[in-house]
Chains A and B, each alone.
Chain A
Amino acid sequence: MTDLKFIIWNFKNGGMKDKLLITLGCSYTEGHGCYDFSIFPIDKNIYDGGIDVNILNYQKNKFHELGWPNKLGKKLGYNKVLNLGFGGSSTSGNLKWFIQKYNDFDFSKYDVLLIWWLPITYRFSFYNRDLIYNIQTPIKNSDPADYLNELSKSYFKFIGDIDGDTIREQIFYLKLMINFCELKNINFLWYNHDSYTKKYFKNYPMKYWIGVGDELNNELYQVNPNYYINKSCGHPNENGYEIISNYFYNSIKLNNKHLINDSNLNYFEWEWDGEPQDYNLEL
């Protein structure tokens, strides 16, 4: 929305701010799995290689359009969704990109809700050639390429406890995000779908937990996976993301009703900005 449009809209709405939903996370937040199979082989996914770049971009745009962030944004009555989900990203990589791009963003123009679907804990990130690189530890359904990455292998050897140590790392970044949101008056909620990690997330960070537990995973992967999951990549399909957005919405309605906008929406727009860009440095 341009500044002028914003001023007019703001005036008409008695000074009420626009509602902005920011979503952060990995492929599940980017929307991976929402393929348009009318132009794509049903047994393939975008990682298979050899895909025409236009088709790749078209499918990715479908992901961004049909994933849970936009569905939830509409259910919550929000005007804008800014989706920063990025496939393969790590917890630290998510926060680095968010801070790199939005550290100086004027959030005060909006009522902001930020939802962070935390990536799996055993990914980490470093800057390389002034760009954020996410690295996955070679464990649990890893891509074979992860086993070839020396840094990934040596990290796996270095840490003592693949769960406890990586979760502790994740909690560190979660606390930094909570602090940032408190500072900027951003409403914040987080979710992760690895229920075994919950026992570590005690005390303060639990205050911001979205409140959805194992029941969502059960519904997606146990009750009716044929309906909710895209077999070619293991991510939810559009039906799956619909049920995810329902769970999130219902939990917000139950625990954080004040975050729901009951007024009529006069516009809805969305933007995906998940892929880290370089710092534009003079190297």
Chain B
Amino acid sequence: MKPKLLVTLGCSLTQGVGCYDIATIPPKYLKQGRNNSMDGVDFPKLFNLNRDRFHDLGWPNKLGKLLNYNKVINLGYSGASTSGNLKVFTEKFIYKDLSNYDVLIIWMLPSANRISFYSGSRVINRIPSSDLDDISNSYINFIEHDVIDSALEQIFYMKCMEHICENKGYKILFGFTNYEFEEAVKHYYKSNNYISDSVSNYFHYGDLFDEYSSPICYHPNELGYGVTADRIYDDLKNNYPLLLNKNKVDNFEWEYDGFEIHHMEFQKWWDER
């Protein structure tokens, strides 16, 4: 029997952002709470300080353990778009030999209206609903039906991922992080690869929001991601029971591989022209 590999794709909610070590957060920012403007905070430094913790304690590893999988490779990336996820996945995995594993890919789809382009020889994502740069604004102004047009874009990339997985013999399942886009995508694309046909409820904690969320942003903390992993597990158990490994695994491995590749050879060639 082949070892089981879980590959996860998505945005910050898959990267595990929010699992901060409270001890690393300056007390005055803790006091300001989630509406913290972060003025004066070296946010990238705080993020980087906690990054390994995010990757360790997010839902992918928790789910991998619940499923009794041998290995998790997490490609979740903060701010990622659907196309950006697929670009990075394609660069890293389309020609990678994973034939030693039974592979399950779970793609927790980012909000569909995010876009990506190669810029400076690497994949750059944009969040038009919050980024205020020219490309984000002009995209929002360009499309007339934010939800439907973005959903059609997302459906295209989902189909391409389905082709890759079918070709490689991987099982692919889609989950969602945004109700509105999920509704549109499921309405217009009857895929056999949704984790659940009903609306995903993986990242909403209702009255327990404070307990299950980071104190300085709106992402889940490790408790929240534990609940998320439980919910995904329950859906898999109900809808895809054969994906669960009944045998306990002795060694559980995980790896984070979500960073985009910077194609320096392009830059070098360009500079030398």
Contact = CB atoms under 8 A, between A and B. Distances in A.
Asked if A and B bind, the verdict is yes
Interface of A: 95-96, 99-100, 103, 124, 126-130, 133, 150-151, 153-155, 157-161, 163-166, 168-169, 172, 175-176, 179-180, 182-183, 199-200, 204, 279, 281, 283
- Among B86, B115, B121, chain A packs the most CB atoms within 10 A around the CB of B121
Contact of B145 (A124, A130, A164, A200): A130
Given A151-B142, A175-B94, A100 B156 contact: yes
Contacts of B145: 129-130, 283
Given A103-B159, A128-B144, A204-B95, A183 B167 contact: yes
Contacts of B115: 126
Nearest to A104: B159
Nearest to A124: B117
Q: Majority SS of interface residues in chain A?
A: helix
B134 A157 contact: yes
A160 B264 CA distance: 13
Interface string B105-135: 0000000000101111100100000000111
Contacts, number: 122
B137 to A, nearest CB: 8
Contact of B135 (A95, A154, A161, A199): A154
A159 B115 CA distance: 13
Contact of B188 (A96, A103, A154, A281): A281
A197 to B, nearest CB: 11
Nearest to B156: A96
Interface string B138-171: 1101111100111011001001100110110000
Contacts of A126: 115, 139, 142-143, 149, 153
Given A129-B149, A158-B119, A159-B117, A164 B142 contact: no
Contact of B270 (A95, A133, A163, A180): A163
A163 B153 CA distance: 24
Interface string B84-98: 001100110011000
Nearest to B266: A164
Nearest to A282: B187
A160 B152 CA distance: 28
Q: Majority SS of interface residues in chain B?
A: helix
Contact of B87 (A103, A172, A180, A283): A172
Contacts of A160: 119-121
5 contacts: A126-B115, A128-B144, A129-B149, A164-B121, A176-B164
Given A175-B90, A183-B166, A183-B167, A158 B135 contact: yes
Given A126-B149, A130-B148, A155-B117, A150 B138 contact: yes
B167 to A, nearest CB: 4
Contacts of A130: 145, 148-149, 152
A238 to B, nearest CB: 35
Contact of B266 (A124, A168, A176, A204): A168
Contact of A161 (B95, B156, B163, B267): B267
Nearest to A152: B138
Contacts of A283: 145, 148
B237 interface: no
Contacts of B269: 164, 199
Contacts of B159: 99, 103
Nearest to B160: A176
Contact of A172 (B90, B141, B144): B90
B263 interface: yes
Contacts of B164: 176, 179
B175 to A, nearest CB: 22
A165 B121 contact: yes
A128 B270 contact: no
Given A161-B120, A172-B86, A182-B167, 9 more contacts: A95-B156, A99-B156, A126-B115, A126-B143, A150-B141, A158-B119, A161-B121, A164-B270, A176-B160
B143 A128 contact: yes
Given A164-B269, A172-B87, A150 B142 contact: yes
